[in-house]
A and B are shown apart, each in its own frame.
Chain A
Amino acid sequence: MKYVLSFNLNGLPVDTLVKATDTLLDVLREKLNVVSPKRGCDNGDCGACTVLVNGEPVRACLTIGLTVAGKNVQTVEGLQQDGKLHPLQRAFHEHYAAQCGFCTPGMLIAAKALLDKNPKPTREQIVEGISGNLCRCGTYVEVVEAIQAVAAGKYKE
Chain B
Amino acid sequence: MAEYVGQPVLRYDGIGHVTARTRYVDDIQLPGMLYIKVLTSPVHKGIIRHLDTSAAERMPGVAGVITAKDVPGKNAYGLIPDQPVFTPEHIRYKGERIAAVAAVDEDTAMEALEKIKLDIEEQEPVFDPFKAMEPGAPLVRPEGNVWEFNSGKTRKIRFGDVEKGFAEADVIVEGTYTTATNDHAPMEPQVSVAYIDETDRLAIYTVSQDLYFHLGMLTAIFNLPMNKIRYIGGTVGGGFGSKNDIHCDHVAGLMALKIRKPVKYRHTRREETAYTTKRGPWTFYFKDGVKKDGRIIARYVKTVHDTGGYAGMGPYVVDKNSILVAGPYAIPNVWVDGICVFTNKPPCSSMRGFGIINGTAADQLQTARVAEAIGKDPWEVHFINAWREGDLGATQFKVEAAGLIEAMKRAAELAGIELPAHLKAMSSRGR
Chain A contact residues, CB within 8 Å of chain B: 29-30, 33, 35-36, 38-43, 45-46, 48, 75-77, 79-80, 85, 88-90, 92-94, 96, 98, 100-105, 108, 134-137
Give 14 CB contacts A-B under 8 Å. A35-B24, A39-B189, A45-B269, A48-B187, A80-B19, A93-B10, A93-B11, A96-B14, A98-B18, A101-B17, A103-B187, A108-B18, A136-B186, A136-B238
A102 contacts B24, CB within 8 Å?
yes
Taking A48-B187, A96-B14 as known contacts, 13 extra A-B pairs with beta carbons closer than 8 A to each other, sorted by chain A number, are A38-B24, A42-B268, A42-B269, A45-B269, A85-B15, A90-B18, A93-B15, A93-B17, A98-B11, A100-B188, A100-B236, A101-B16, A137-B238
Q: Does B316 contact A (CB under 8 A)?
A: no
Contact A136 B19, CB 8 Å, known A40-B189, A46-B187, A96-B14: no
Residues of A within 8 A of B26 (CB): 29, 35, 38-39
**A50–B314 alpha-carbon span in the complex (Å):** 37
Contact A33 B29, CB 8 Å, known A85-B18, A100-B238: yes
Contact A76 B187, CB 8 Å, known A98-B14, A102-B237, A137-B238: no
B188 contacts A40, CB within 8 Å?
yes
Task: Say how far B279's CB is from chain A's closest CB, in angstroms.
Answer: 14
Task: Say how far B319's CB is from chain A's closest CB, in angstroms.
Answer: 27
Task: Say how far B247's CB is from chain A's closest CB, in angstroms.
Answer: 16
A136 contacts B269, CB within 8 Å?
no
- Main SS at interface, chain B: loop
Partner of A101, one of B10, B29, B237: B237
Task: Say how far B284's CB is from chain A's closest CB, in angstroms.
Answer: 27
**A98–B238 alpha-carbon span in the complex (Å):** 11
Q: Residues 386-414 of chain B: 1 if any A CB is under 8 Å from the residue's CB, otherwise 0?
A: 00000000000000000000000000000
Q: Residues 8-51 of chain B: 1 if any A CB is under 8 Å from the residue's CB, otherwise 0?
A: 10110111111110111011010000000000000000000000
**A148–B24 alpha-carbon span in the complex (Å):** 28
Q: Does B185 contact A (CB under 8 A)?
A: yes
Residue pairs across A and B with CB atoms within 8 Å: the count is: 91
B238 contacts A102, CB within 8 Å?
yes
Task: Say how far A98's CB is from chain B's closest CB, in angstroms.
Answer: 4
A38 contacts B269, CB within 8 Å?
no
A104 contacts B17, CB within 8 Å?
yes
Residues of A within 8 A of B268 (CB): 42
Residues of B within 8 A of A46 (CB): 187
Q: In the complex, which residues 220-236 of chain B have their Cβ closer than 8 Å to any Cβ of chain A?
A: 236
Nearest A residue to B239 via CB reads: A100
Nearest A residue to B188 via CB reads: A102
A40 contacts B19, CB within 8 Å?
no
Residues of B within 8 A of A103 (CB): 187
Partner of B269, one of A43, A96, A101: A43
Q: Does B379 contact A (CB under 8 A)?
A: no
**A19–B90 alpha-carbon span in the complex (Å):** 40
Task: Say how far A89's CB is from chain B's closest CB, in angstroms.
Answer: 4
Task: Say how far B360's CB is from chain A's closest CB, in angstroms.
Answer: 19
**A136–B351 alpha-carbon span in the complex (Å):** 14
Q: Residues 309-345 of chain B: 1 if any A CB is under 8 Å from the residue's CB, otherwise 0?
A: 0000000000000000000000000000000000000
Residues of B within 8 A of A98 (CB): 11, 14, 17-18
**A55–B212 alpha-carbon span in the complex (Å):** 45
**A85–B22 alpha-carbon span in the complex (Å):** 15
**A45–B268 alpha-carbon span in the complex (Å):** 13
B11 contacts A134, CB within 8 Å?
no
A105 contacts B269, CB within 8 Å?
no
Residues of B within 8 A of A80 (CB): 19
**A75–B21 alpha-carbon span in the complex (Å):** 12
Partner of B18, one of A48, A104, A134: A104
Task: Say how far A24's CB is from chain B's closest CB, in angstroms.
Answer: 16
Nearest B residue to A36 via CB reads: B20
A101 contacts B22, CB within 8 Å?
yes
Task: Say how far B70's CB is from chain A's closest CB, in angstroms.
Answer: 27
B27 contacts A35, CB within 8 Å?
yes
The 8 A-B pairs at the shortest CB distance, nearest first, are namely: A101-B17, A102-B237, A36-B20, A98-B17, A35-B27, A102-B187, A89-B18, A76-B20
Partner of A136, one of B15, B16, B23, B185: B185
Residues of B within 8 A of A93 (CB): 10-11, 14-15, 17-18
Partner of B187, one of A75, A92, A136: A136
A100 contacts B187, CB within 8 Å?
yes
